[in-house]
Chains A and B, each alone.
Chain A
């Protein structure tokens, strides 16, 4: 599930990569409320057992399509998450961590490289303001859908 295409480091990445990069690389993007949330702890701290790394899973039953088309329902997903004090995954761009963790009954956005019956390439939690996040992604997708490069730059 790691996004290897974003394995870029350094402060300059904030000027090069963001949600628009992910939208551009994805064929299908869906958002929605998380149902059937579950969490499996993969690693705990020694002594007092604090979860360090876990796999959060869930599904979207009523997706809002941001880009492309949904081929199957419900849409299943999982994401490996880690506690905030652990170093972040070096293969993930920094901006992805701004959106926090998946929460039961929370919102999520799923990015697919292909059809929705395959696991999503990126699972993005809805963050503090999912409506604003969905609107941003929809806006980006609609601008990127403009065929003419000049018109796209003007939009």
Chain B
């Protein structure tokens, strides 16, 4: 945890994040540190993308148990705040993966609350201004299975 906060290179931060994921660190412990890292203006775009990806991955792996909703709320906040378009594309692709996970038939009912959060964030982002073509294409793809975003 301290290594994640104090790391001087992206590689060190990634190693710390993977190790914490490997330990099964609960979301309540991880969240304050992640919030601190993403709030730091010196944090690279690469690490911001990596954090989004690894949290998405852990949600899909159901590693956060009952705190899954809080983890998805964090992702939605980051998604709505991101300004860099390449990073935004990466975030959309990750949310698409999450929607694929929430849409699986087995146990779908239990995942509906987080699916609603993601849909709401995608809708909200759409109202925030024009998006590059590649992101619009991803939206069109998502809208085929989730027409409520249109």
Contacts and interface: CB of A to CB of B under 8 A. Distances in A.
Interface size class of A (residues with CB under 8 A): 20 to 34
Given A15-B57, A153-B25, A155-B2, A20 B19 contact: yes
B38 interface: no
B3 A143 contact: yes
Interface string A124-148: 0000000011001001100100000
B98 interface: no
B149 interface: no
The secondary structure that dominates the A interface is helix
Interface residues of B, number: 20
A152 B18 contact: no
A112 B20 CA distance: 25
Contacts of A132: 9, 11
Given A15-B57, A16-B18, A18-B15, A152 B23 contact: yes
Contacts of B54: 15
Given A14-B14, A155-B1, 15 more contacts: A14-B50, A15-B18, A15-B54, A16-B21, A18-B11, A18-B14, A19-B15, A21-B18, A132-B9, A133-B11, A140-B15, A140-B19, A153-B20, A153-B23, A154-B2
Interface of A: 12, 14-21, 132-133, 136, 139-140, 143, 149, 152-155
